Amino acid sequence: MSAPRSELKSTGYEIFIGALSLLSIFNLILIGFARRGGDLDQVLLVMNAIFSAVFLLDFSYRLATAPSRSAYFFRHFGWADLLASLPFPQLKFLRIFRLVRVFRLLREVGGRAVLRRLVRDRAGSALYTLLFTGILVLQFGSMAMLSVEADAPDANITDASDALWYTIVTISTVGYGDRYPVTNGGRVIGAMIIVVGVGIFGTFTGYLANLFLAPRKTAKQPDDEAAAPIERLRALLALPGASLADVDRVLGLQRDTPSEGDGPVS
C-alpha cells in the first residue's frame, strides 16, 4: 500500500518554491520603488508573469495530491496559493504564505535533517538548483545587459524583449547571433551568461541521461545481516563435532539449562 499523500512535498521542491516566492516578492518591491515604467520594469513584469504560471501549476499539483482538498484549501493556505498565482498585482503579497510553508517545513523537520534529505536526494536537489539558477540568470542577466547596452551607439539590445531573447538564446547555448552586445561591459556580462549557461545545460543533460539510461534497480535482496547467521550455521553443520550449543551461539539463542542433546550434531 502506498504512503499517504501529503500537502508538504519533498524538501528540495518546497525550498525551490519558497525561493521563487522570495524572489517574486523582491521583484514586487523593486517595481513599487521604481515606478518608472521603463524597459527594466518590463523585464520584472515578464518574470512575474512566469512566476504566476509556475505558482498556478504548483497550486494545481498540491490540490490534486492533497490528502484532503478542503483541508489544504481552507486550512493550509490553498486559497492564498490560488489568489497569489492570479495576474493581479494587488494579490501578489499573498505569496508570503508560501514562505510560511517553507519555514514550517524547516521547523518540523529540523535544519540537519533538511540537509541530510537534500544530500540523499542529490539528483532532485541539483535539478531544482539548476532551475532556480536559470531563473536568476534570466532575470538579472537581462536587466544587466539592458542597463549596459540600451543607450550604447549602434546597440541592437535596446528593450526588454531584446534583452530577454538574448539571455534565453545565450543560456541555451544556441547563439543565433541576431542580438549581441557592442560594449565591453555587455560582452563581459554576455561571457558570464555563456559560462553559466554551459554549466546549467551540461548538468541538466547529465541529469536526464542518468534518469533515462541508468539501469533499473533489481529486486531487493535479503539483508546481509539477516542472511549472515544462516550462512554461518550451514558452515558449522558441515564441520565434524559441532554441538547444539554451537548452533545456539550462531543463532543468538541462550539455554537456561544444559540440554542432553548438547553433544555433537549428527
**Closest residue by Cα to residue 180 from 196, 167, 197:** 167
The confidence score (pLDDT) of residue 248 equals 64
Tally of CA atoms within 13 A in the half-sphere of 263 that contains its CB: 3
d(CA 49, CA 54): 9
pTM for this prediction: 0.70
Fill in the DSSP letter of residue 4. Answer: P
Contact 11, 117 (CB under 8 A): yes
**Closest residue by Cα to residue 138 from 157, 179, 166:** 166
Query: Mean pLDDT per 10-residue run, the chain (266 residues)?
Result: 53 86 86 70 88 90 86 82 81 80 73 78 81 91 90 88 92 83 92 88 77 63 54 61 62 53 49
Q: Structurally, what CATH architecture does the domain formed by 123-214 represent? A: Orthogonal Bundle (1.10)
Question: Can you tell me whether residue 254 is helix, strand or coil?
Answer: coil
Q: Could you tell me the residue ranges of all domains in the chain? A: 1-120, 123-214, 225-256
Contact 145, 190 (CB under 8 A): yes
Question: Can you tell me whether residue 243 is helix, strand or coil?
Answer: strand
The confidence score (pLDDT) of residue 240 equals 63
Query: What Å distances lie between residue 23 and 83, 179, 208, CA to CA?
Result: 18, 27, 27
The confidence score (pLDDT) of residue 164 equals 93
The confidence score (pLDDT) of residue 34 equals 64
Residue 218: burial class (beta carbons within 10 Å; 0-12, 13-18, 19+): exposed
Query: What Å distances lie between residue 12 and 105, 113, 124, CA to CA?
Result: 11, 12, 7
- Taken as a whole, the chain contains a residue count of 266
The confidence score (pLDDT) of residue 232 equals 63
**Closest residue by Cα to residue 149 from 46, 42, 40:** 40
The confidence score (pLDDT) of residue 4 equals 41
